[in-house]
Structure 1
């Protein structure tokens, strides 16, 4: 839940760089999937940038398995 709150705070502050960066350094795939689900279902400005970062990070984590 910490990742979601951090990203939402960054999006609210219109800090897309920080929101995307938080996703790109997250190691917990479950937290990333929860964030992706939340961003996908809401209409937040800048969400697509973070969605792209989440998908990229999930792909990276998958390749490490």
Structure 2
């Protein structure tokens, strides 16, 4: 849940770089999926940019399995 809170705070501050970077550094697929669900349903500016980063990180983690 910490990832979601951190990313939402970054988005609220219009810091897309930090929000995307947090997603790209996350190692927990569950945390990423929770974040994806939250971003998908919200209407925050910049959410699509972070959604792209979350999907990219999920693909990276899948490749490591």
Unaligned 5+ segments in structure 1 are: none
Equivalent residue, structure 2, for 1:62: 62
* TM-align CA RMSD: 0.3
2-structure distance, mates of 1:59, 1:7: 19
**Which digits, 9 at most, give the CA deviation of each residue in 1:7-43, with x for residues without a partner?**
0000010000000000000000000000000000111
1:51 corresponds to which residue? 51
Question: Partner residue of 1:5?
Answer: 5
Supply the distance in 2 between the matched residues of 1:32 and 1:57 (Cα, whole angstroms).
8
Q: Normalising to structure 2: TM-score of the pair?
A: 0.99
- Segments of 4+ moved more than 4 angstroms: none
Structure 2 gap segments, 5+ residues each: none
Q: Count matched residues.
A: 65
